[in-house]
Amino acid sequence: MRTKAVAATALLTLGLTACGAEIAPEETATASAHYPVTVDNCGEKLTFDRKPARVVTNDVGITELMLSLGLADRMAGYVMPDDKGKIDQVAWKDGYQQAKWLSKQIITKEIALDAKADLVFAGWHYGFDEGRGVTPQTLKALGIDSYVLSESCRSGKGTERGVMDPLEALYTDLANLGEVFDVKDRADKLIADFKARIAAVPQPERRPSVFLYDSGQDKPYTAGKFAAANEIIAKAGGTNVMGDLTDTWLTAGWESVVERDPEVIVINNYGSTGAEEKRKFLKSFPPLAGVAAIRNDRFFVMDYVDLVESPRNPAAIGALAGYLRTVPAR
């Protein structure tokens, strides 16, 4: 972020070099022409005097936002489990090989400090958590800046999340990263490509109702209005039965699922309970026996990374759309 004196800027430059992020003379010259830059992140203005050099990301979708823009060389590493989507079958798989896998758990202040991070890119419920003491404020106290995933922006109503349409959040983050890392052309090209691919997805004559099942047996964890999954379902030609809930990912009630009677259930495939186990539970759970999706055995499995804000969202929309077009009228 912006330093207030030439001396402070010089010290920062030396500090980054000491951390292993050597700044070439030509990069310094380019930086002076482009920076400082200011972006709006969840309603807060963030100003950067130079390109971050040691970024730590938390979670797969956030990591892939960086990698899809060719920014592996600006990363000190990433933190994520290994069960949220295959990482060896994406266009930016080389970036995964270049960046360091710091932990398969969740980000901590210690991980960020050990990596000598100058920026942590995470989100509320995607790494940031007051209960664990990892927030933009606590990191700032350690001299580490933060960027919050726009899908996870808090609305100002307690911890409720969501301030914009999910795909708009994806485009916002790509555009902001393009400015922060001086790769605007890459970001603009990616945004235009994503919009074109999504616009080209054929829409069905009618919109089947869809319930997104993430996890939970006592109560289901699902996707509300501001979760990426909601707009993925919509752009694929379906209607999220929980799309009226003004949050991102949240816990609902089984009675709501029964009442809304979805025609299709999308299963979020991750975690210690696999997709097939989740399907078996749903099929055997007595309260759901009369739900159309259960009676007609209409399940569609998607990876976690497809359903959170990530560069995989356009392909996920296309895949789900193909399935929804096969769903007959009631």
- 3-state SS assignment for residue 75: strand
Predicted TM-score of the model (pTM): 0.89
Percent of the chain topping pLDDT 90: 84
Q: How confident is the model at residue 3 (pLDDT cuts 50, 70, 90)?
A: very low
Percent of the chain topping pLDDT 70: 90
Confidence check: pLDDT of 2 > 80? no
Same domain, 239 and 307: yes
Residue type, 224: G
Among candidate residues 197, 227, 245, the one where a domain is terminated: 197
φ and ψ of 295, to 5 deg: -60, -35
Q: Decide if 144 is inside a domain.
A: yes
Q: Decide if 181 is inside a domain.
A: yes
Q: Decide if 204 is inside a domain.
A: no
* Average of per-residue pLDDT across 140-144: 98
Q: How confident is the model at residue 157 (pLDDT cuts 50, 70, 90)?
A: confident
The confidence score (pLDDT) of residue 1 equals 52
Among candidate residues 197, 220, 237, the one where a domain is terminated: 197
The confidence score (pLDDT) of residue 251 equals 97
Q: Decide if 163 is inside a domain.
A: yes
The confidence score (pLDDT) of residue 147 equals 98
Residue 70 falls in which region: left (phi positive, over 0), alpha (psi -120 to 50) or beta: left
- 3-state SS assignment for residue 179: helix
The confidence score (pLDDT) of residue 27 equals 52
Q: Which tokens hold the place of 49?
A: 């005097």
Same domain, 50 and 129: yes
Taking each helix axis from N to C end, the angle separating 313-324 and 184-199, rounded to the nearest 10 degrees, works out to: 0
Q: Please list, in sequence order, all residues whose beta carbon lies within 8 angstroms of the beta carbon of residue 276, skipping any fewer than 6 positions away.
A: none
CB 221 within 8 A of CB 266: no
Q: Decide if 1 is inside a domain.
A: no
- 3-state SS assignment for residue 255: helix
* Average of per-residue pLDDT across 150-155: 96
Q: Where are the alpha helices (DSSP H) in the chain?
A: 6-18, 25-34, 60-68, 93-98, 109-114, 136-140, 166-180, 184-199, 228-235, 254-260, 275-284, 292-295, 304-307, 313-324
Distance (Å, whole) CA 223 – CA 242: 7
Distance (Å, whole) CA 149 – CA 153: 7
Same domain, 136 and 95: yes
Q: What is the CA radius of gyration of the chain?
A: 21
CB 186 within 8 A of CB 72: no
Q: Decide if 286 is inside a domain.
A: yes
Q: How far is CA 161 from CA 49, 123, 245, 250, 328, in A?
A: 29, 10, 11, 10, 34
Q: Which tokens hold the place of 327?
A: 């769903």
Same domain, 159 and 247: no
Mean of the per-residue pLDDT values of the chain: 91
Q: Please list, in sequence order, all residues whose beta carbon lies within 8 angstroms of the beta carbon of residue 186, skipping any fewer than 6 positions away.
A: 69, 70, 178
Among candidate residues 137, 170, 197, the one where a domain is terminated: 197
Distance (Å, whole) CA 204 – CA 208: 9
Distance (Å, whole) CA 306 – CA 266: 11
Q: Please list, in sequence order, all residues whose beta carbon lies within 8 angstroms of the beta carbon of residue 24, skipping any fewer than 6 positions away.
A: none
Distance of CA 165 to the CA centre of its chain: 13
Same domain, 37 and 143: yes
Torsional sign, CA 304, 308, 310, 311: positive
Same domain, 90 and 151: yes
The confidence score (pLDDT) of residue 75 equals 98
Domain ranges, residue 318: 209-324
| Of 17-21, 289-293, 318-322, minimum mean pLDDT range | 17-21
Confidence check: pLDDT of 28 > 60? no
Confidence check: pLDDT of 25 > 80? no
Q: Which residue, chain included where needed, has tokens 């070099």?
A: 17
| Of 32-36, 96-100, 177-181, minimum mean pLDDT range | 32-36
Q: Decide if 269 is inside a domain.
A: yes
Q: Which tokens hold the place of 56?
A: 């730590």
Same domain, 99 and 239: no
- In the chain, the number of structural domains is 2
Q: How confident is the model at residue 31 (pLDDT cuts 50, 70, 90)?
A: low
Same domain, 20 and 92: yes
308: domain CATH number is: 3.40.50.1980
Taking only the tens place, the pLDDT of each residue in 257-285 is: 999 999 999 999 998 999 999 999 999 99
Taking only the tens place, the pLDDT of each residue in 84-125 is: 878 887 899 999 999 999 999 999 999 999 999 999 999 999
φ and ψ of 155, to 5 deg: -85, -10
Same domain, 156 and 224: no
DSSP β-ladder status, 127-128 and 209-213: unpaired
Q: Decide if 247 is inside a domain.
A: yes
